Amino acid sequence: MRRARPTLRALRDDLRLPVPPVDDPLDEIDHPVLAKASAQFADAATSRERIRVITDQILFKVKIQRWRAAAWLEADLAWIIAAGTREDGAVDDFYTALEADAKAARARYNTVHAEAITAATYVGHLLPAEEDRVRYQAESGVRALRRLRQAIHTLTCSSLHDGHEHSADLGTSVIGIQVRADDGHETYCAVRITGPVPTDLVALVLELVPGCDPQSWAPEPRMPDRSLIGNEQIWSTLMDPHAAAKLLDTEPES
């Protein structure tokens, strides 16, 4: 399961939090309800308590400290669609209020729709809306950039430690990086990309290589230890020695 995330309505109206910029994914918001939901739904074997007073959708209870929430599962993602706090002396007042709201919503829905809802409740107005889909899609670019940056950093550090070429499969293409830092000589860095790659992605990859001037890359006919193979593009440049020294102190992430 992916980390739990709130709907934008729940974030604004229930958790009373501002909507962060798109480069701050909603599933990374620091809030006890979201942390509890992420842990609760991380393992399918973990027991879950259903909100049985809601009958038109399958919702689950999320409880931590004084917070109460309703989670709705979509594939491998838990959405927090409603949240609130437990008042002193009350047992499940949030869920009682949720039931009342859902029954009122059902009545309103049936008043204006020819095809009535037969269930006792209606929570469709709380489920992820179009704005939530748009936000999630926008965040996907941020997540992809983070993965690419981390992969390039790891490849660079790994090669700097042993001098060999290290590569990562990105799905539609493969990136390989080889860094040579011989004693008393300049630090040479070569990047190869295999597969169909848009020009803007090539520029982004080269820009993300740590310690290298993005404007200094030049095309190469071969990698340091081998010739060009198949559908490869290769570039090289010199790495800043101070940046290389810092990277050497960094353990490559697996």
**pLDDT, tens digit, for every residue of 45-91?**
888 999 999 999 999 999 999 999 999 999 999 999 999 998 766 65
3-state secondary structure of 61: strand
Q: What is the pLDDT of residues 159-174, one digit of tens each?
A: 999 999 999 998 888 9
pLDDT at 252 over 80: no
Q: Give Cβ neighbours of residue 50 (< 8 Å, ≥ 6 apart).
A: 58, 59, 60, 61
Buried b (16+ CB within 10 A) or exposed e, 228-240: eeeebbbbbbebb
**Alpha-carbon distance 190 to 179, whole Å?**
6
In this prediction, residue 201 carries a pLDDT of 87
**Alpha-carbon distance 35 to 23, whole Å?**
19
Q: What is the pLDDT of residues 130-157, one digit of tens each?
A: 999 999 999 998 888 999 999 999 999 9
Q: Give Cβ neighbours of residue 80 (< 8 Å, ≥ 6 apart).
A: 4, 5, 6, 7, 10, 33, 34, 37, 62, 69, 70, 71
Q: Could you tell me whether strands 77-85 and 67-74 are parallel, antiparallel, or unpaired per DSSP bridges? A: antiparallel
Evaluate whether 247 touches 158 at the Cβ level (below 8 Å).
Answer: no
Distances in whole angstroms, Cα of residue 52 to Cα of each of 37, 107, 241: 18, 19, 63
